[in-house]
Amino acid sequence: MQRAAFGWRFTFPLLLGSTLNPINTSMIATGLVSIAADFHTGPGPTATLVSVLYLCSAVMQPTFGKLSTIFGPRRIFLIGIAILLLGGVIGALAPAFWLLLVSRALIGVGTSACYPTAMALVRARADRLATGVPSRVLGNFSIAAQITGVVGLPLGGILAGAFGWRALFLVNVPLAIVVFAFAYFGVDRDRPVARLGKRALLTAIDLPGIALFAATVITLIVFLGDLTRPNWWVLALAVVFFGALVLWERRALQPLIDVRTLAANGPLQRTYLRQMLVGLATYTALYGASQWMEEGAGLSSTAVGLLLLPVFAVSIVVARINSNRGWVRWPLVIGAVSVILTGVSMMLIDGSSTVLIAALLGLTVLFGVTNGFSGFANQAALYIQSPAETIAVASGLFRTFSYLGAIFSASLITIAFGPAVTDAGFHRLGWAILGIGVLVTVLTVFDRRIPTVTNKG
C-alpha cells in the first residue's frame, strides 16, 4: 500500500528538494579560493560564505516548519524553492562580494523550507491514507542525505573547474525549476488558508519566539565555532537568550516551540540529543580522519577520496536494509557501539602501521555503519515521537541539532590536533569519539521508550 501511496511523482521533488541544502553546503568549498582571488578577499571573509548558510539553515528550518502549519507545507515548500531560485540568480551575476553573501543567505533560507515541509507532507499523506509509518520513504530521505555526501564536493569540483565558481550558484536555477515544477504538479494541494486578522496572524507566527530562537542559535553557533579561545560571554549571552525564549514560549498562545509539550516528551528530547551527538562523532571522525590521512599519514587527496567511498556505500546499503525492515531500537544500539569501535580504532592506528590501508578501510566501514544505522533510526524515532501537528517544527529542530553537532566538530578537531596534524592528535581525537560513543550508548540502551520497530502499515 505504501508503494502506491508514495509514488515517484510525490516523493521525487520532496527528496530532491531536501538534498539541496547539504549539497550547497559542501559544493561551495571547491570555489572559495577562486572567489577570494576574484574579489580580492582573504580566507576569513571568504569562509563566511560557508558560515552564513549554516546560520540561516539552523534558524530557518524550524521557522519554516512553523510557517507551514499556518500557510500549508506545500505553499511553504514552493516559496522556499522560489527563494532558492532568486539566490542562485543573484550569486551567478553578483558583481560584488556582499551580493554573494546575500545569495548564500537566500540559498540557506530557501533550501531550509524543504526538509520540514517534506516531512509534514509525508506525514499528512500517511495519516490520510492510513499507511502506518512510511519507513521506506523515511529510508529514502536518509539515503538521499548519504548520497549528497558523495555528490556535493565532486559536483562542485566539476562545475567550478569547467565553468568557474559562478556555476556553483547558477546550478541552483535549473534544480529549483525542476523541483518547483514537479512539486507544483505532483504534490497534494494544501487546504485553503484560514482568514486571520493582523493581530491573530502575528500571534500565530510568533515573531518574538522566532527572534529569540534565532538569537539563541546564532550565539551558540558562534561560541561552538571556536573553542580554542572560548568567548564565555557569548555562551552567557546564549544562555540568557535561551532563558528568555523558554519564558516567552511558555506564555505564547501559538509558540514556535511548544516548550511545555517538549519538556514532557522525554523520548523526543533524547532523540534530538542522540542526533546531535552522533552527528558530532560522525563529522569529527570523518573530517578528522581525512585530514590526518592526507597531512599526517602522507596519502594523496585521491587516495583519501577512494578510502572514504566505503562510508557512503555502506551507509546507503545499511539504511536501505534497515528501512525495509522498519527497525529502530537495535540500529540505534549498533550505531552507538560503532562510534565506540571507531574511537578505539583511531587510537590504535598510526602512520607507520604496516597494515595502514586495511586499517583505514575498516575504519571507514565503521563510519558507514554508524551513519547508515543511526541516520534512518533517529529519523524514524522522530517521526513516531512527534505529534502530527508539530512534525514540521520537530523536523526542523532535528536538522538544527545536526548543524550544532557539525559545527562543534570543527572546534573539536582543531583542539585535538593543535598546531600540527600528528598521530598523537589523531589518538586524542579517538579518545574524544570514544567518550561520545559511550555517552550515546548509555543514552540509547537505557532509554526504554525507543520503539523496537516502526510498526509500519
Domain positions in the chain are 1-197, 264-457
Distance CA 264, CA 262 (A): 5
Cell numbers placing 54: 549554516
**What percent of the chain has pLDDT above 90?**
60
pLDDT of residue 50: 85
First to last CA, the chain: 8
- Confidence band for 26, pLDDT divided at 50, 70 and 90: confident
Residue 404 is inside which H or E element, if any?
A: helix 391-417
Mean pLDDT of 375-388: 92
pLDDT at position 276 over 60:
yes
pLDDT of residue 328: 94
Q: Is 185 exposed, middle or buried (0-12, 13-18, 19+ CB in 10 A)?
A: exposed
In the numeric block, the cell 488558508 is attached to 193
pLDDT of residue 168: 93
Higher pLDDT, 457 or 215: 215
- Confidence band for 227, pLDDT divided at 50, 70 and 90: confident
| pLDDT tens, position by position, 165-199 | 999 999 999 999 999 999 999 998 998 887 878 88
| pLDDT tens, position by position, 67-119 | 999 999 999 999 999 999 999 999 999 999 999 999 999 999 999 999 999 99
Mean pLDDT of 342-346: 95
Give the chain's mean pLDDT.
90
pLDDT of residue 154: 67
Q: How far is CA 441 from the centre of its chain?
A: 21
Q: How far is CA 419 from the centre of its chain?
A: 29
pLDDT at position 36 over 70:
yes
pLDDT at position 2 over 70:
no
pLDDT of residue 3: 61
Do the two domains 1-197 and 264-457 of this chain adopt the same fold? yes
CATH 2.40.50.200 fits domain 264-457 = no
Which is nearest to 112 in space by CA: 398, 383, 409?
398
Residue 240 is inside which H or E element, if any?
A: helix 232-251
pLDDT of residue 228: 84
Distance CA 269, CA 276 (A): 11
What are the Cα distances from residue 322, in Å, to 226, 315, 423, 445? Answer: 36, 10, 35, 19
CATH of the domain spanning 1-197: 1.20.1250.20
What are the Cα distances from residue 381, in Å, to 61, 266, 447? Answer: 19, 12, 12
Distance CA 276, CA 339 (A): 13
Cell numbers placing 450: 525507543
pLDDT at position 429 over 90:
yes
At position 293, the amino acid (one-letter code) is: M
Let me know: does 389 contact 202? Beta carbons within 8 Å: no
Higher pLDDT, 244 or 7: 244
- Confidence band for 122, pLDDT divided at 50, 70 and 90: very high
pLDDT at position 457 over 60:
no
Let me know: does 261 contact 447? Beta carbons within 8 Å: no
Lowest mean pLDDT: which of 112-126, 301-315, 370-384, 413-427?
301-315
